[in-house]
Amino acid sequence: MKKIFFKQARHRAQLIAVTALVGLLTYGLVVRAAKAPEPQRAIRPLGGLQQGPIQVRPRLSQHKVVRGSDGLLYLQLDMEAPHQEMATEQRPLTDFVVVLDRSSSMSGAKKMDYALQAVKSLIGQMKGQDRLALVTFDNEIETVAPLTNLGAAKKAEILQKVATITPRGSTNLGGGLIRPLRGLGYAS
């Protein structure tokens, strides 16, 4: 008698749980469908020029997930700021410290290609009096370039070094962040 009672009680509890779950899902779908889509707002830049909005265009790598796949999607955000001519004297000199993950996790889906392209683009836009440091990390931490001014010769030297960076090893994220902080005097 006790076994039957407990079996029926467990069956009732499961039925109540399933009913509650279906109710919550239904409620969520109804609320979501009832919400009007929010108008798309342009993001304004923080500081600097405030003359126009930055246009942001999101793009997914795919719109459907195939059953049995890993379910991995990539989101690409393309941002475009309005063109603004700026006198050279207006922009203050800048120090950049680039910390680049070169672990083997960067080998897939052209991740390293995109990262290196971004570093090269940054170097190409910097003035000769701007300073750049480049640190790479995997299981080893390497200072590719200490914080230094970027004259034409130095830019070419660093770009050559950037071209040789390839994915390898495992990820030592902590070391990749501490080394540049120590180099700048922020950590001991």
Looking at residue 141, its pLDDT comes to 85
Which two tokens mark 151? 């004259």
* Domain boundaries, given as residue ranges, for the chain: 1-32, 92-188
The sheet with strand 95-101 has its strands ordered as 95-101, 131-137, 141-149
Looking at residue 73, its pLDDT comes to 74
Which residues are CB-neighbours of 134 under 8 A, at least 6 positions away?
A: 97, 98, 100, 119, 143, 144, 145, 158, 161, 162
Looking at residue 160, its pLDDT comes to 94
Across the chain, mean pLDDT equals 74
The per-residue DSSP string of 161-183 comes to: HHHT----S---HHHHHHHHHHH
Looking at residue 120, its pLDDT comes to 93
* Range 11-29 average pLDDT: 60
On whether the CB atoms of residues 150 and 134 are closer than 8 A, the answer is: no
Looking at residue 77, its pLDDT comes to 72
* Range 112-121 average pLDDT: 91
What CATH code would you report for 92-188? 3.40.50.410
Question: pTM of the prediction?
Answer: 0.53
Residue with more model confidence, 118 or 33: 118
* Range 50-68 average pLDDT: 72
